[in-house]
Amino acid sequence: MININSGSSRQIIIIGTGIAGLSAAKAARAQEPEAKIIMFGEENLLPYYRLRLCEYIGKSADFDELKINNEEWFKKNGIHVELSSKVTSIDTEAKKISVNNKEYSYDSLILSTGSTPIMPSFKGKELSGIHTLWTWDDIAKINKSLKEA
């Protein structure tokens, strides 16, 4: 079992790297200056402004413009981010999670998994060129689709 020690025995795990997860990490750091904070996210990107993705439809997208904080900020604030890391189980009694075939213990667990876009039922939704927009990968797919249109 992995317990990343920062000099404190408290370990706070946050599942989700969206704005809610980042806000939780900032609040946790303010309340627990010595705690180890680990965020887990399925995407391979640091937290970014999802709501601004629509500004890049049909345009060249630069991820650095959407990042909320850079790697140095996370290091400076003692917030460890595990990217491309899907939590596969939570054991609340043992206070541990499983991620990428590893177990992590926690003292506090914050779930900030966000949402998933849904496609409403309408005729033609199965056609190519119909997209949802929620991730950086989505904007890349939309822009590729536009180039091929």
Please compute Rg for the chain using Cα positions.
18
Report yes or no on whether pTM surpasses 0.85.
Answer: yes
Q: 66-105 pLDDT, tens per residue?
A: 999 999 999 999 999 999 999 999 999 999 999 999 999 9
User: String of b and e for 64-80 (b: at least 16 CB within 10 Å)?
Assistant: eebeebeeeebeeebbe
Domains and CATH numbers, the chain: 11-148 (3.50.50.60)
Going by C-alpha positions, the residue among 92, 109, 140, 95 that lies closest to residue 40 is 109
